[in-house]
Structure formats: structure tokens, C-alpha cells
């Protein structure tokens, strides 16, 4: 129930076009539920939360999520959709203390089907303006938001719609394939009606005349399972088909004869091929790779590597990355820290394995926006990782003050490893001071890979 506002109405009004929008960004996270929740805090007439005063903790409790999830959902509604404007406030007289945000909802024109006000975010008009009869979206934006590039926005939006349709088509293809397999030999999740030629008992979930666990009405359990959906194709190997399963009413003969519907289980499953949308994501990452990493990718990359790249991007997920974010904040730091010196000493024996290892995310602090202790959205040090590091230092300091000099559970420092093989040195790039192996290019310039790339970008010859 919303606040009554000036009209005295005690119900919430919302834009139907928003609640029916299949946009993955609205539906996968908490963006659409947050919009519905803000409507309940907003005045019906003013369409803002000036009187409702929803704190982030209250919104997170209502949505059963964290405050960070609420912030990401509000950010999506504000910057991508333009449905909400967030006014961040401070407690009066206390400039260092945050107050409840004021959320302004720009949906009144969509609810009443009228021309949007002049200050409406242009991306909201571009997205939903077609739902208002007689509204000329291009003319409105040309008058009220001339700096907004409507053509570029429409082109980007069309790309998102095509990618979404590709994912849906892939889901439909998998569903058709699953149904074909289930109709082929009468699997455990097959239809309740036995096919011609099946034994009297039918499948395990068949009707009451020959099944083991079917409802006496004949077909209830099978139909319910059919409507609910069946497991992924790989789970079909976990149980025998109905043709090979023994009938529950008579003992087995002990024969290992294989039925016509059975199939041998494979211990290894090959990754599924990439969809057109996933191929585009994979190509974007390859284009963003620097030369030293691009050289590791084979011409015909194995499917496992392609799938690892797509999974690392986590498209439409909480840990979603752009291609540039993945390369800058995950691949390059790991390459510089663990693998570049090995590559300089000689060609890597298994470059594909190295790439797959670098693509894996080290979830040290649990924040999906963190990679290698850096926030990928702003490039700053991850606050959670910094807090953990502070806690570890405090634990060490407390341990050193104890009589034994070390608290239980804190291992003793390892002795320095002996230098074997190549000589080691210190990077000569300004104040870097990183310890490096003096092999390959480092023998000539005495720089670590990061400083060398910086010099190349600046056009300085060493």
C-alpha cells in the first residue's frame, strides 16, 4: 500500500510496460522488485519517497538481499533505464552521516498515457515512449534532450534484444532435443502413456497398470513431471531407461542384456558449442588481449577455452565483466605476477592451461565486483579486501605481543627459497622496485612487464 499523497488514494500505481519488460537486467537481479517496492514507499501524487523515507537497510530487508545489491539495482534503474533518480542526502547538521536516499520515480506519464515531462530521462522515453499513443519519441528527444544520441541508443538496444533472442532460441533448441530423446526410448521422465511395443509395465513413471510409482488415476505423476520439466541431458546417464529397468512386479533374471533404449554413460562431457551471442562475447575478449596474451591463444581454440572465456564474463550475472575489465583486472595482473617471467625464460609448455587458470576468478572477499583485490567498476582498491588485510595485520600484531610470539593457528614464516637458475634483480622503472627474473627482455632493459608496457605506451625507448 502506497502513501496516500494529496489525492488520498491508498494504493500503489505502477507502469505496466515496466513490469512486463523481459529485459534480463531488470529480471535477473533485484531491479524490477526494487521498482515495485519503491512504489509502496512513494506518494501517489508526487511519485517520490520524500515522506516514505526508505533507508537502504529497510529496502534490503524487504527484498531479502544486501545493501550492495540494492545499490546495484538502483544504479541500473537510474543509469540504464532512467526510471528512477536517486538523490543522496546527508543528515542535517552532520555532513559526514548519510540519511535515507530520496527516490524520484519517473513513471507517472507512462501510467496515465500522456506526454512525458521535460525533465524525464531520455533513455526512459526512448525505451517506453512507443507505449504512449501519438507520442513522437524522436521529436520529443530532439526538443528536450538534443544531446542524447537516439540512433546509437536504438542500435545498442537492438543488439541486446538480438542477444536475448539468441539465448531464448538456444533454450528452445535444447528443449526440443530433450523431448526427442525422451520420445525415443521412454526414459525415466517420459510421457505417462506407454508407446506401442513397450512392455506392459511401461516406464517407471507410467500408468497404474504396470508402473511402480504412478498415481492410480493413471498419468498424474508423469504429466506433472512433464509440465515441471526434466533434468539436463547429462542426468539421463544417472539412471537406466524404462526399457532397461526391471519391472517392479517380477524378479529379474540376472541377465546383463541391454535394452534398446539404454545407452552407455560417458565419464567426460564435452562443453556445448557457443551460441552466436556467446561467440560475439568470445571475439570481444580476443580483440582486447594484449600481444603477449593473444600469442597464447591457438588458431583453433579448444571448446573448453572458449567456454571458460564466456563463463568468466558472466554475462547478465552478478559478476558480469566487460572484455576490457576481464583483461585489465584479472588476466594481466595474474600474467605479470605468475607467468610472464616463465614465458620470458622460454615458451610455455601448456599455454591453454595457463589461460584457463588465469580466467578463473579468485573470490577472496566474496564481492562479485572484485578481481585481484581491485574493484572492476572504478579501478580502486577493493574495500572488503583492504578490510581483510587490515584484520590480518592486526592479528599478526596481537600475536607478536603474546608470550610465544605467535598466536595459535598462525604459521611460522617460511624460509626464503634458494635462487635456482636465472639471476634475480629489481625493476628499474622509477619507484617500482618489483623483484624480477633477469631473463628475456629484462636482461636488456631491467624492467618488469608492467613498467615495460607503460614505457611502450609512452613511446619511450629503453
Cβ-defined contacts of 17-25 (< 8 Å, 24+)? 17/110, 17/128, 17/131, 18/81, 18/83, 18/107, 18/110, 18/128, 22/164, 23/81, 23/160, 23/164, 24/164, 24/316, 25/76, 25/80, 25/316
Q: How far apart are CA 233 and CA 243, in angstroms?
A: 18
Find the mean pLDDT for residues 66-84. 92
What percentage of the chain carries pLDDT values higher than 90? 23
Whether 142 and 179 map to the same domain: the answer is no
What is the pLDDT at residue 126? Answer: 93
What is the pLDDT at residue 454? Answer: 79
Q: What is the pLDDT of residues 122-131, one digit of tens each?
A: 999 999 999 9
CATH number at residue 141: 1.10.10.10
- DSSP letter at 331 equals I
Q: What is the pLDDT of residues 188-209, one digit of tens each?
A: 444 444 444 444 444 434 343 4
Whether 29 and 140 map to the same domain: the answer is yes
Whether 212 and 332 map to the same domain: the answer is no
Lowest-pLDDT choice from 80-94, 272-286, 423-437: 423-437
Whether 224 and 132 map to the same domain: the answer is no
Q: What is the pLDDT of residues 398-449, one digit of tens each?
A: 777 776 555 555 566 655 555 455 577 788 877 777 877 777 787 788 888 8
Whether 139 and 162 map to the same domain: the answer is no
Is 5 domain-assigned?
no
Whether 281 and 168 map to the same domain: the answer is no
Dihedral sign from CA coordinates of 282, 287, 292, 294 = positive
Find the mean pLDDT for residues 118-125. 93
Q: Quick check: 67 pLDDT over 50? A: yes
Whether 143 and 208 map to the same domain: the answer is no
What is the pLDDT at residue 92? Answer: 84
Find the mean pLDDT for residues 280-299. 89
The average confidence (pLDDT) of the chain is 76
What is the pLDDT at residue 384? Answer: 82
Whether 141 and 232 map to the same domain: the answer is no
Domain housing 429: 424-458
Find the mean pLDDT for residues 160-169. 86
Let me know: does 218 contact 198? Beta carbons within 8 Å: no
The grid coordinates listed for 181 are: 530423446
Q: Which residue has the higher pLDDT, 205 or 145?
A: 145
Is 248 domain-assigned?
no
Q: What is the pLDDT of residues 210-254, one digit of tens each?
A: 443 334 344 443 443 344 344 444 433 344 343 444 444 444 444
Whether 184 and 113 map to the same domain: the answer is no
Whether 166 and 287 map to the same domain: the answer is no
Amino acid at each position: 500500500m502506497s502513501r496516500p499523497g494529496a489525492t488520498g488514494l491508498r494504493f500503489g500505481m505502477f507502469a505496466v510496460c515496466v513490469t512486463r519488460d523481459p529485459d534480463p537486467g531488470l529480471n535477473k537481479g533485484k531491479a524490477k522488485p526494487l521498482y515495485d517496492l519503491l512504489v509502496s514507499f512513494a506518494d501517489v501524487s508526487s511519485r517520490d519517497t520524500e515522506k516514505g523515507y526508505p533507508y537502504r537497510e529497510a529496502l534490503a530487508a524487504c527484498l531479502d538481499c544486501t545493501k550492495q545489491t540494492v545499490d546495484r539495482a538502483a544504479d541500473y534503474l537510474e543509469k540504464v533505464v532512467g526510471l528512477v533518480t536517486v538523490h543522496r542526502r546527508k543528515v542535517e547538521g552532520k555532513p559526514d552521516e548519510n540519511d535515507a536516499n530520496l527516490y524520484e520515480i519517473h513513471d507517472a506519464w507512462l501510467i496515465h498515457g500522456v506526454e512525458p515531462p521535460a525533465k524525464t530521462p531520455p533513455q526512459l522515453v526512448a525505451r517506453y515512449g512507443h507505449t504512449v499513443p501519438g507520442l513522437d519519441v524522436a521529436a520529443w528527444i530532439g526538443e528536450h534532450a538534443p544531446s542524447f544520441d537516439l540512433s546509437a541508443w536504438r542500435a545498442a538496444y537492438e543488439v541486446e534484444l538480438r542477444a536475448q533472442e539468441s539465448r531464448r532460441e538456444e533454450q528452445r533448441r535444447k528443449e526440443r532435443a530433450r523431448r526427442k530423446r525422451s520420445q525415443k526410448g521412454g526414459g525415466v521422465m517420459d510421457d505417462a502413456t506407454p508407446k506401442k511395443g513397450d512392455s506392459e509395465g511401461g516406464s517407471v513413471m507410467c500408468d497404474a497398470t504396470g508402473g511402480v510409482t504412478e498415481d492410480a488415476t493413471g498419468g498424474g505423476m508423469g504429466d506433472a513431471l512433464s509440465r515441471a520439466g526434466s533434468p539436463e541431458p547429462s542426468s539421463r546417464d544417472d539412471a537406466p531407461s524404462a526399457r532397461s529397468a526391471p519391472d517392479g512386479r517380477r524378479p529379474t533374471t540376472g541377465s546383463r542384456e541391454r535394452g534398446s533404449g539404454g545407452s552407455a554413460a560417458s565419464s567426460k562431457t564435452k562443453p556445448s558449442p557457443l551460441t552466436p551471442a556467446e561467440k560475439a562475447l568470445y571475439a570481444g575478449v580476443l580483440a582486447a588481449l594484449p600481444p603477449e596474451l593473444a600469442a597464447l591463444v591457438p588458431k583453433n581454440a579448444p571448446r573448453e577455452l572458449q567456454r571458460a572465456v564466456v563463463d568468466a564474463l558472466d554475462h547478465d550475472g552478478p559478476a558480469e565483466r566487460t572484455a576490457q575489465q576481464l583483461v585489465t583486472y584479472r588476466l594481466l595482473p595474474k600474467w605479470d605476477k605468475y607467468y610472464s617471467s616463465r614465458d620470458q625464460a622460454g615458451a610455455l609448455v601448456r599455454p591453454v592451461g595457463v589461460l584457463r587458470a588465469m580466467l578463473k576468478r579468485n573470490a577472496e572477499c566474496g564481492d562479485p565486483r572484485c578481481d585481484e583485490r581491485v574493484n572492476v567498476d572504478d579501478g580502486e582498491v577493493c574495500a572488503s579486501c583492504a578490510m581483510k588485510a587490515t584484520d590480518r595485520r592486526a592479528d599478526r600484531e596481537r600475536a607478536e605481543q603474546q608470550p610465544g610470539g605467535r598466536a595459535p593457528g598462525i604459521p611460522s614464516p617460511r624460509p626464503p627459497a634458494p635462487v635456482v637458475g636465472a639471476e634475480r634483480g629489481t625493476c628499474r622503472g622509477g619507484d617500482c622496485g618489483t623483484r624480477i627474473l633477469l631473463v628475456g627482455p629484462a636482461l636488456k632493459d631491467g624492467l618488469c612487464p608492467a613498467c615495460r608496457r607503460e614505457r611502450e605506451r609512452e613511446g619511450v625507448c629503453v
